[in-house]
Amino acid sequence: MRLRRRDLLRGAVALAAAGGAAVGIDGFCITPTTLDVSHHRLGRTDADGGAIDTAGGGDRIRVAQVSDLHLHAVGSLELRLLEAIGKLRPDLLVLTGDSIDTAAGLGPLAEFLAACPEMPHRLAILGNWEYSAEVPIDRLRALHEQHGFQLLVNRSVRCEVGGRTVRVTGLDDLRHGRPDAAAALRNAEPCEGHLVLAHCPALRDRHGIPPEHRPEAILAGHTHGGQISPGGMALVLPSGSGRYVQGWYREGGPPLFVSRGIGTSTIPIRLGSLPELACIDWRLDGKSSGTSG
């Protein structure tokens, strides 16, 4: 039996509608609530420049990175995130900006910070949305300190883990703040390792970090991996992303890792870019390079 043209058109419209509905369900309901725990190695390299597996403990420091929470409530995704952080048992938890995007997010942020698992060191930096929310930095700092976090704005801290000493530098936001690596590291003595937190990954190309304090890695967020990235191709990236989307970048500067973050910005949709909790096992000996594991 031959199908009439209008029957074919009806079928095509129905198929497109079904495909659009499936994409909509994925973008609104599935991808934004599916947590991906990614595992990475950061550490010494062999003679050929390949990363040596550091997952075996020893002098490893485990870093958990959470970025771009954009908190409006502590819901099921955030509860799974907190549980996953606890299972990783990190030595160092870092929040790399955009934890809130309005002043109304302060309550959920306090709830989230209070529920974070105990660990030796918990640090945070600002993103562009904290500035857009017009919450005074002193208020944000007090909120973090109340729950055992240090908010780093152009500031460095020494962290002792398992008898080893590392430095973590938190730089101000590139878009709305005034990042100043020289000020953050003024009078700082070299440590066994150095980690830099910078919300916008484009800061890698203009970081201004003194050569004597060259970092093993820079951890950033901001991009959401494109947030809407069908087939893994980011359609739009926010200003401050530069040429970076997600994952590791090792050529042309300090190793940079860009997290896809947790929440959504502007519209509550994620497609092709799962929320990410990054676990980085960092060995301190020798020259560093980042790899995914």
Task: Specify the 3-state DSSP secondary structure of 161.
Answer: strand
My answer on whether 39 and 3 are in the same domain is no
Query: Please, what is the average pLDDT of the chain?
Result: 87
Q: What is the DSSP string of 44-106?
A: -B-TTSPBPP-TT-TTEEEEEEE-----S---HHHHHHHHHHHHH--SEEEEES-S-SSGGGH
- pLDDT for 59 equals 75
Q: What is the CATH number of the domain that holds 245?
A: 3.60.21.10
My answer on whether 4 and 58 are in the same domain is no
My answer on whether 120 and 7 are in the same domain is no
pTM of the shown model = 0.87
My answer on whether 9 and 62 are in the same domain is no
Could you tell me which of 6, 36, 95, 13 has the C-alpha nearest to residue 275?
Answer: 36
List Cβ neighbours of 242 (8 Å cut-off, separation of 6 or more): 200, 201, 202, 204, 205
What digits encode the pLDDT tens for the residues 48-96? 333 434 344 457 899 999 999 999 999 999 999 999 999 999 999 999 9
First to last CA, the chain: 55
Q: Is the pLDDT of residue 158 over 60?
A: yes
My answer on whether 183 and 233 are in the same domain is yes
What digits encode the pLDDT tens for the residues 159-211? 999 889 999 999 999 999 999 999 999 999 889 999 999 999 999 999 999 99
Q: Is the pLDDT of residue 12 over 60?
A: no
Number of domains in the chain: 2
Question: Residue 31: which pLDDT band, with cuts at 50, 70 and 90?
Answer: confident
In whole angstroms, how large is the CA radius of gyration of the chain? 21
